[in-house]
Amino acid sequence: MSRRHAVSAPLDASPDAGPEASSRALEDPSAGALTARATPEEPGDGGPVAASDPASDVVSALERVNALLHEDDETAQRVLELAEARVAAHGTAGLNIAELARAAGVSRPTLYRRWEDADAILQTILLRRLIGCVDAVGGPVAESRAELTSKLVAYADAFFADPVLSRLGETEPEVFSRFLLERFSPIQLLLVGWIAAAVAGAQADGSVRAADPHRTAVMLLLVMQSTILSYRTVAPLIDPEHWSTELRFLVDGYLRP
């Protein structure tokens, strides 16, 4: 999936693992991680009422995701950095708890207290790298349609520039199918919250059509996922520069009043 940027197996599980609730929350948002946003309804007629503030929603989402990332845990950060380096160099083959524990100089139970299995580590890696893409474009802030469109296109560029995400997209796209396409995960909840906050901000100057920011964000997420994850398939038909141009037209047209 590398475009203009150079890019720098089954996963194991333990039957006797004793993971924290935060590891299970990666798989099940109801277990204390992110919870899907339900649109409230008016009593009696079932119609929607005003949505909650998207900016507050994304801050809340980030706070809950941060707990999953073990950011204050030096051992966990060392393990995640080692895992990311392995994935960037070799893909997910051989990514298992025993090898990571050995490379980090810790015991396997130490890792199992943080993650249920290597799959949970892989999903944590995806969270880290996708949050990094959001950070690279300046976070969930946009004051106009032009700025929002530019940030979404820049997010796609950041995705392709990331050595871990690009490696997986190039050699193991099924990883994204498992974590992004086959079920609604904390990763999508985080991205929807970010996009919704940016949409709400861009609506203030009238350049973005008046619509529920969360519904708009869901559709934009689908567009971004589809175009990014499908690029490898259509690469022989369109070069990177024109791909970015057409994506910009697509997003801008959808957002116009």
Is residue 204 domain-resident?
yes
Q: How confident is residue 72, by pLDDT bands cut at 50, 70 and 90?
A: confident
The angle subtended at Cα 24 by Cα 38 and Cα 129, nearest 5°, is: 80
Residue 14 reports pLDDT greater than 50: no
8 Å CB contact between 139 and 242: no
Bigger pLDDT: 8 vs 173 = 173
Mean pLDDT score, 163-173: 92
Q: Is residue 111 part of a domain?
A: no
pLDDT at 51: 52
Domain count, the chain: 1
Average pLDDT on 101-116 reads 92
**Predicted pLDDT of residue 48:** 44
Tell me what pLDDT residue 17 has.
Answer: 43
- Tell me the Cα Rg of the chain: 19
Q: Which residues pair with 117 in a beta bridge?
A: 13
pLDDT computed for residue 64 by the predictor: 60
- Confidence band, pLDDT 50/70/90 cuts, at residue 29: very low
**Residue at 166 is within a domain:** yes
Residue 201 included in any domain:
yes
Domain that holds residue 205: 55-68+125-255
Cα–Cα nearest to 153, from 223, 201, 210, 211: 223
pLDDT of residue 190: 82
Rounded to an integer, the average pLDDT of 58-85 is 77
| Cα 141 to Cα 30, 145, 151, 194, 196, distances in angstroms | 28, 11, 9, 8, 10
Read off the pLDDT band of 34 (50, 70, 90).
very low
Q: Is residue 247 situated within a structural domain?
A: yes
Quote the pLDDT of residue 138: 87
What integer is the mean pLDDT of 103-124?
91
Answer yes or no: is pLDDT of 18 > 70: no
pLDDT of 201: 94
Residue 36 predicted with pLDDT over 50: no
Which residue matches tokens 């997910």? 92
The single-letter DSSP state of residue 230 is T
Task: Count H helices and E strands in the chain, helices first.
Answer: 13, 0
Whether 140 is covered by a domain: the verdict is yes
Residue 39 lies in a domain: no
In this prediction, residue 181 has a pLDDT band, given cuts at 50, 70 and 90, of confident
Kindly tell me if the per-residue pLDDT of 241 is higher than 50.
Answer: yes
Mean predicted lDDT score pLDDT of the chain: 79
Q: What's the pLDDT score for residue 141?
A: 87
Instruction: Determine the 3-state secondary structure of 161 from DSSP.
Output: helix
**Percent of the chain residues past pLDDT 90, beyond the cut:** 49
Distance, in Å, from the CA atom of 253 to the CA atom of 255, rounded to the nearest integer, reads 5
| Calpha distance 199→216 (Å, rounded) | 8
CB 212 within 8 A of CB 53: no
d(CA 228, CA 102): 35
Least confident window among 146-160, 182-196, 205-219: 182-196
* 61 in any annotated domain: yes
